Amino acid sequence: MKAFLFAALIAFAVPLAAHSKDYPLPDAEPMAAISLPDSWDVDDLDDGIEAVSKDELVYVAVETADAIDARAATTAAYSFFDDKGIVIDKASFRQSDIEVNGFSGFQLFFEGRDEDGPTRVSVTVLPVGETGAVMITYWASEDGEKSNPDGLMNIVNSVQARARTGQ
């Protein structure tokens, strides 16, 4: 009975610990919003935000862009990861379609290495309007994914479109 009560207490407490904050994208004229855990360190980018998990084992950049296709996203990802010092194993490339909150997009997955060792990398692109998309760039070590198990999918699933005031 004690084990059941302990498990029930943990199941109740875990969602309470996972507080998040919404961020408009881009800040000045939002086309979308995304939620990130409160405990993550968040900084502004030109067209979005970047965040690092509290344990510094997961990195996420969320940016808005013109509607983007898989080839353009892959090219942009290779350049971005090169700038960040991540060596991508191009042979590990995988692509899959994704449906989130009514948006049909795609995810690119790679294996790679950063200065700390092996890392898992992904790029998620979700068109959120006729001419715009949200691009979520992510990388984490295996330990980072274990210590932040719901991080990436909760972030991706939080994407919401925002009506632009100028349209």
Rounded (10°) CA dihedral 27, 31, 34, 40: -20
Q: What is the pLDDT of residues 28-81, one digit of tens each?
A: 788 899 999 888 999 998 889 999 999 999 999 999 887 777 788 888 888 888
Q: Provide DSSP, 4-66.
A: HHHHHHHHHHHHHH--EEEEEESSSS-SEEEEEETTSEEEEETTEEEEE-TTS-EEEEEEEEE
Average pLDDT value for the chain = 82
155 neighbors 34 (Cβ within 8 angstroms) = yes
List domains and CATH numbers for the chain: 20-161 (3.40.1000.10)
**Which one-letter amino acid corresponds to residue 131?**
T
Q: What is the pLDDT of residues 8-23, one digit of tens each?
A: 333 333 443 457 899 9
Q: With cut-offs at 50, 70 and 90, classify the pLDDT of residue 89.
A: very high
